[in-house]
Amino acid sequence: MRSVLTLEQLAERAPDVRTRSRLSSLAAGCQAHASRLLARMAAIGGGPLPVPPDEVELPASLAEALRAEAERTRDSAERYAGMANLARKAMDPSAAWVCELNRAEELDRAFELAEMAQRLGSAEFLAPPA
């Protein structure tokens, strides 16, 4: 849920409609991850998920904020891999599937955010002084 909030805030700062739209779409994907986890936790009697903060602090540079979120996303993918392994050991293939799906999507998102940061970082560097 922290990523949802972060990506929504980044979308508000995006320099163009295409980037704004893509960041909003990525935020919706993060919301889907949380929904899948919550549904699986409810099925096995767990939950609720931790409540995210109301606001997150982001670096002033959009490119730097995107790089930081890409790194946090890679870390999340690693945690999903560990949770999937634990779920398999606990003989819970449904939870393992949810974690593997979320892991794969996190890796894709991390790559896309890093690419976006690189592209925007170059644009920020070349932007004329205000």
Confidence at 49, pLDDT banded by 50, 70, 90: low
Task: Using the predicted structure, report yes or no on whether residue 51 has a pLDDT greater than 90.
Answer: no
What is the per-residue pLDDT for 47? 66
Identify the residue with better confidence: 10 or 130.
10
What is the per-residue pLDDT for 128? 41
Task: Using the predicted structure, report yes or no on whether residue 4 has a pLDDT greater than 60.
Answer: yes
b/e per residue, 78-104, with b = 16+ CB within 10 A? Answer: eebbebbeebeeeebeebbebbbebbe
Cis peptide upstream of residue 15 (ω within 30 degrees of 0): no
Quick: pLDDT tens for 84-127.
Answer: 999 999 999 988 999 999 999 999 999 999 999 998 876 554 34
Four-way CATH pick for 2-126: 1.20.1260, 3.30.310, 1.10.357, 2.60.40: 1.20.1260
What is the per-residue pLDDT for 123? 57
For the CA atoms of 24, 81, 66, 29, what is the dihedral angle to 10 degrees? 0
- The model carries a pTM of 0.82
The answer to whether 36 and 98 are in contact (CB under 8 A) is yes
